[in-house]
């Protein structure tokens, strides 16, 4: 017969584990910190999984920053196009210069929109690296249309651009290093092609001057990226510690309310639940029944087969009872081989049916681990909450007397009076 749980408030003790749950699992220790090892050269986590978690953590905020940086870069690129008029006047070269500037501006704007729609591109570095390469390539074009005196200024501007690659434009450090190398080599090539009086010594000096911002920028970007990843590492470890402490708290609560062998409620838990259910039953007029279960000849089981088999028999009995009971029923261990079952919203006749189901299943159950010839039986006493029952002890005394009569009547039975 189906016995739905009453719709009233839960019959489970506050903060108590589910009656269908077993003893809490042992805590899993925190993972070793080796997974947070950092590569100084790349300024990234060595383990791919950790690096991917970090990128997922910063993805949304970084996508916003990258898109803003690309838009600002594009606007500044157009703004400095005013100098083209000073250099070329109203000429065909001015039109070509502005065509290049507009093309780069549209490319940067498209990159900003793409990053907003696909934030993962911000952390992968693909869009920003492409923008850097396109921007530097466009800048190299100025070397071929500028007079010699302006080319020297362009080389000085390149030093500033290299610093900006590392400091102002968010990208993976290893990719920015590659773009910086491209900027240095490209600048040297452009200067060598467009300035006739260059000498090997001047080129060496220029290379050294370009390396200074590249190396400085790399150290600055490396320090920034490593710091952010260490903050992420601290955050993950703090969250893991919070989870571990929460799990420990749950485990301690379970241990405080649960019998460690069978997973049943201990006295503290079932006594509190019983008082609550008794108060609810009196207030609502709903029936409340109790079943006391005692395994027959349990001392003989321990003496004959050993305490390990006796413990296995108790665990098997508890599991069988859980299979029969509802989630709102309270299943507790009184002590030794005795158990108490509290059945909310259950009258005496229905409680007898539940007790009979447990008894018959136990008698028909298979072997207990470690004892092939062991057959378990139990005597069960059923009683209902009476008008004079003020405390659980009143019910337990009556149930114990009923159980005693069942034992004297031959055991392996459900006794009701």
Residues with active-site annotation: 337
DSSP assignment of 336-363: TTEEEEEEET--HHHHHHHHHHHHHHHH
275, 283 Cβ separation under 8 angstroms: no
CA atoms within 13 A on the CB side of 86: 5
How many Cβ atoms are within 10 Å of 77's Cβ, its own excluded?
18
**Could you say which DSSP state residue 118 is in?**
-
CA 13/CA 275 separation, integer angstroms: 10
For residue 346, give the nearest of 402, 289, 305 by alpha carbon.
289
138, 145 Cβ separation under 8 angstroms: no
């Amino acid at each position: 017969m189906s016995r739905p749980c009453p719709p009233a408030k839960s019959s489970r003790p506050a903060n108590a584990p589910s009656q269908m749950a077993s003893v809490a699992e042992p805590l899993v220790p925190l993972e070793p910190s080796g997974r947070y090892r950092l590569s100084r050269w790349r300024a990234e986590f060595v383990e791919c999984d950790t690096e991917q978690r970090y990128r997922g953590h910063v993805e949304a905020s970084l996508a916003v920053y990258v898109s803003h940086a690309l838009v600002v870069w594009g606007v500044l690129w157009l703004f400095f196009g005013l100098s083209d008029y000073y250099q070329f006047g109203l000429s065909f070269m001015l039109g070509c210069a502005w065509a290049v500037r507009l093309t780069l501006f549209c490319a940067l704007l498209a990159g900003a929109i793409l990053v907003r729609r696909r934030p993962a591109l911000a952390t992968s570095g693909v869009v920003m690296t492409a923008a850097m390469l396109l921007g530097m390539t466009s800048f190299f074009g100025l070397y071929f249309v500028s007079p010699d005196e302006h080319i020297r200024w362009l080389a000085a501007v390149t030093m500033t651009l290299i610093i900006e690659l590392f400091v102002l434009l968010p990208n993976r450090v290893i990719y920015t290093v590659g773009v910086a190398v491209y900027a240095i080599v490209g600048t040297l090539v452009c200067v060598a092609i467009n300035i006739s009086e260059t000498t090997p010594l001047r080129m060496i000096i220029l290379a050294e001057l370009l390396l200074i911002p590249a190396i400085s920028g790399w150290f600055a970007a490396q320090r920034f990226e490593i710091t952010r990843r260490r903050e992420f590492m601290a955050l993950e470890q703090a969250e893991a510690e919070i989870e571990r402490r929460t799990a420990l708290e749950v485990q301690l609560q379970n241990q405080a309310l649960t019998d460690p062998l069978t997973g049943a409620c201990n006295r503290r838990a079932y006594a509190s639940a019983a008082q609550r259910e008794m108060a609810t039953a009196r207030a609502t007029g709903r029936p409340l029944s109790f079943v006391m279960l005692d395994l027959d000849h349990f001392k003989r089981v321990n003496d004959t087969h050993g305490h390990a088999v006796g413990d296995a028999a108790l665990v098997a009995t508890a599991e069988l009872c859980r299979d029969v009971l509802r989630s709102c029923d309270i299943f507790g261990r009184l002590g030794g081989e005795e158990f108490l079952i509290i059945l909310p919203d259950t009258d005496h006749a229905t409680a007898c049916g539940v007790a009979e189901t447990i008894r018959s299943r136990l008698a028909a159950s298979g072997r207990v681990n470690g004892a092939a010839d062991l057959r378990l039986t139990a005597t069960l006493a059923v009683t209902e909450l009476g008008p004079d029952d003020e405390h659980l002890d009143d019910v337990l005394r009556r149930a114990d007397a009923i159980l005693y009569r069942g034992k004297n009547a031959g055991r392996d039975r459900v006794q009701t009076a």
